[in-house]
Amino acid sequence: MPRVLVVEDDQAVRELIVDELTDHGFTVRGAADATTGLAQLEADPIDVLITDVNLARESGLDLARDALAHEPDLPVIIITAFGSLEMAVEAIRAGAYDFITKPVSMEALALAVERAAGLRMLKDELAKLRVQARRGGRRSRLDGVSPEISRLRDNIATVAATDATVMVLGESGSGKEMVAREIHELSRRSSGPFVAENVAAIPAELLESTLFGHVRGAFTGATASRTGLFRMAHGGTLLLDEIGELPMELQPKLLRVLEEGRVRPVGSDQEIEVDVRLVVATHRDLEADTHTGRFREDLFYRLAVIDLAVPPLRDRGGDILLLAQLFLREKASALGKEHLTLHHDTAARLLGWHWPGNVRELRNAMERAVVLAQASKVLPRDLPPRIQGAPEPTRAAKAEADVLLPLDEVERRHILAVLRAHNGNKAEAARTLGIGRKTLYRKLEAWGLS
């Protein structure tokens, strides 16, 4: 059911439009001014925006421009009492999909909304198809078969089809940068640059010039101009990790860049346009920080257009062993120890540990174990002392470790389970697995199951 937002300062007209379009089967909300309308649009996605051109204190054309900057494919219908050619031209320049004059024919408006919503749906489907084409048979950066990581991969594919700002939430080491890279590589910007920076790692006095650049002579030591991260990421994606550490004095400057699409290098009077998809990451509760005054509320809502939560490793069940074997294979191959496997006691220890450092900690633990391993199997003594000294593994962890399988066998069983779930439909199974059909066919042939 198409979702419609009506921005009209005349309460009677607004309520009339909302009621009439609701009767036509649309889900409709109303707003009395541009500021409220834009806030509603950012908080809850819509399919069609309807706005009067003359609002109490603002212009509906400005609202259209702001809305399209936030969501470029959003159809906007402009309503006005002045049906001149000049006004029509202005509406089209503002990016309007349609232009309707007062008094409004509700039948005509409902038809325009229906057509606009249909166009939006087609564009969304096209964007998803493009993402699927880019994904093809490529392997996701996010390994795992748990429901939590599978849902995250699906959400990433949906988000990648848009240009919306994304906030990635998760504990340290959980893979937030991998999520950002996955979004970039599945997006229409994949041929552009991917630039990543940790805000907390940059001295506060250098942060503004690092983000926005500076001109020569802007301050002591500025012997040459600097481009800045936003301009480096032009046409691509910029990841700002640990965004919660951004100093308060820079937060309004970042907000202005996001709203206007321009940066002003330190020491310059000129603004430079930038086309950047911003992804931010944090382990902090930024919404709570807005209540304490540590983070600006308007910037928070501008950054959290879409939020993706990366599950901690301890909540991913069997993914722990799957990832452990993957890291084991990578490091063992590099060191000429291809024969190495996990001892079941080691596997039980891995499953019993709570992994406060998440995937990064697991990778480091397996690299250490491969280096120290002297037998044909990685033993508990090869693990870091903190894991060796962990509490006795639970009965469930021991049971899971007792049926430890090679990675190829884990993959084979998972693929066959997905096929069974889809009643043998290979196309549906490939879509769920996130691989191309040809890749699935090759694997089945290799297993003698074609």
Overall average pLDDT of the 321-338 stretch = 88
Q: Write down the pLDDT at residue 57.
A: 74
Res. 179 pLDDT band, cuts 50 70 90:
very high
pLDDT at position 389 over 80: no
Query: How far is it, in rounded angstroms, from Cα 450 to Cα 445?
Result: 5
Domains in the chain, start-ordered, CATH in brackets?
3-128 (3.40.50.2300), 147-311 (3.40.50.300), 314-404 (1.10.8.60), 409-446 (1.10.10.60)
Q: What are phi and psi of 319, to 5 degrees?
A: -60, -25
pLDDT in tens, 159-169: 998 888 999 99
Query: What's the N-to-C CA distance of the chain in angstroms?
Result: 41
The pLDDT, as a whole number, for residue 87 is 67
Q: Which residues neighbour 180 within 8 Å (Cβ) at sequence distance 6 or greater?
A: 166, 168, 194, 196, 237, 239, 279, 281
- What does the alpha-carbon distance between residue 367 and residue 328 come to, in Å, rounded to a whole number? 7
Name residue 320's amino acid: I
How far is C-alpha 433 from the geometric centre of its chain's CA atoms? Answer: 19
Q: What pTM, to 2 d.p., does this model score?
A: 0.61
Average the pLDDT over 298-319 and give the result. Answer: 90
> Which residues on neighbouring strands pair with residue 49, listed in sequence order?
5, 76
Token code pair at residue 75: 């159809």
Higher local confidence (pLDDT), 394 or 308: 308
Q: How far apart are CA 28 and CA 109, in angstroms?
A: 13
Which pLDDT score, from 0 to 100, does residue 355 have?
93
**Token pair of 15 as six digits:** 């309520």
Return d(Cα 32, Cα 7) in angstroms, integer.
6
Alpha-carbon gap, residue 110 to 116, rounded angstroms? 10
**Taking residues 93-102, what's their average pLDDT?**
78
pLDDT tens, residue by residue, 126-150: 565 555 555 555 556 788 878 888 8
* Helix, strand or coil, per DSSP, at residue 76: strand
Q: The tokens of 427 are what?
A: 């196309």
pLDDT at 293 > cutoff 60: yes
SS3 content of the chain, % helix, strand, coil (to 5): 50, 15, 35
pLDDT of the residue at 34: 85
Beta strands in 139-252 (DSSP E): 166-169, 194-198, 237-241
Do you know the residue count of the chain? 450
**SS3 for 37?**
helix
User: For 186-238, how does the pLDDT look when each residue is reduced to its tens digit (9 = 90+)?
Assistant: 998 999 999 999 999 999 888 999 999 888 876 777 678 888 999 999 999 99
Question: 439 pLDDT exceeds 90?
Answer: no
Distance in angstroms (rounded) separating the CA atoms of residues 136 and 207? 38
In angstroms, the CA 357 to CA 361 distance is 5
pLDDT tens column, 29-75 = 998 888 888 888 877 778 899 988 888 777 788 888 888 877 777 88
CA count, 13 A, side-chain hemisphere, 170: 30
Integer Cα distance of 63 and 238 in angstroms: 26
pLDDT digits (tens, 9 = 90+) for 353-379: 999 999 999 999 999 999 999 888 899
- Dihedral pair phi/psi, residue 447, rounded to 5°: -90, 5
DSSP letter for each residue of 336-358: T-TT-EE-HHHHHHHHHS--TTH
Residue 281: is its pLDDT beyond 70?
Answer: yes
Alpha-carbon distances, residue 293 vs 208, 248, 288, 297 (angstroms): 21, 9, 9, 8
Asked if the model's pLDDT at residue 446 lies above 80, the reply is no
Query: Over the stretch 6-22, which tens digit does the pLDDT of each residue have?
Result: 998 888 888 898 998 99
Instruction: With a cut of 70, say whether residue 392 has pLDDT above it.
Output: no
Residues 6+ apart with CB under 8 A from 168: 176, 179, 180, 279, 280, 281, 282, 307, 308, 310
Percent of the chain with pLDDT over 70: 88
Radius of gyration of the chain, Cα coordinates, nearest whole angstrom: 26
